[in-house]
Structure 1
Amino acid sequence: MIPDDLRYTAEHEWLAPAGDGTFRVGITHYAQDSLGDIVFVQLPEAGAAFEAGGALGEVESTKSVSEIYAPVAGEIVAVNPALEGSPELINSDPYGEGWLVALKPTDPAAVDALLDAKAYGALTAG
């Protein structure tokens, strides 16, 4: 299931508006399913700035280690503290409790240029 109210990247990240000009970022159900059981997450600290497409962390699973990319340029304003002790939340609730970081975009309009649910669904249907 691909939530209709989010924006997506071709690298399987999602963005959800937080209502205060920031966006929560996570990886999609498709991505977590492909990775398998997630055992560790490395994320940046609040205040770190990233360019669109820049590596902002890693997700380590029993199968592999995968980079997480910044969907848009911006500053990290929060990191999900629950993941430090429970990285498996990404598997069990990728669009909810398994969020990774909150990001304040440099250019909020850049979010609109990302994939919508229909386009992301077409990408992953292959």
Structure 2
Amino acid sequence: MNASWLDEIRWNDDGLVPVIAQSAKTGRVVMFAWMNREALELTAQHGYAVYWSRSRQRLWRKGEESGHRQKVLDIRIDCDKDVILLEIEQEGGIACHTGRESCFYHRLKQNRWEAVDPVLKDPGVIYQK
């Protein structure tokens, strides 16, 4: 695959680019993560989201433990070419490790963060090891 398109991305000093995953079905932002060059190339090649885990310092195939993979329908970049937007189909309807549809489930209400989305599946059941 000719990867010259990857050279157009404005990678940060760590060789990463921020990525927003948005549900194609609802338009809701379900996740924010990071990708390095290899993760983005693998995502484009295989059609499933691969991210860079900063905490584990390795590639992270979304759903590798939970089974909640993200099928990528479209890859876009912003005008500054420093943020990626993935339009995805979230397998199982759960993007967050807490068992929720979206990682953005807290809302600021009267100067306090309040969880407003339900847990769809117990994380203890999702991540049995």
Q: Which has the larger radius of gyration?
A: 2
Q: TM-score, normalised by structure 1?
A: 0.33
Q: TM-score, normalised by structure 2?
A: 0.32
Q: Which has the higher contact order (CA 8 A, sep 6+)?
A: 1
Higher helix share: 1
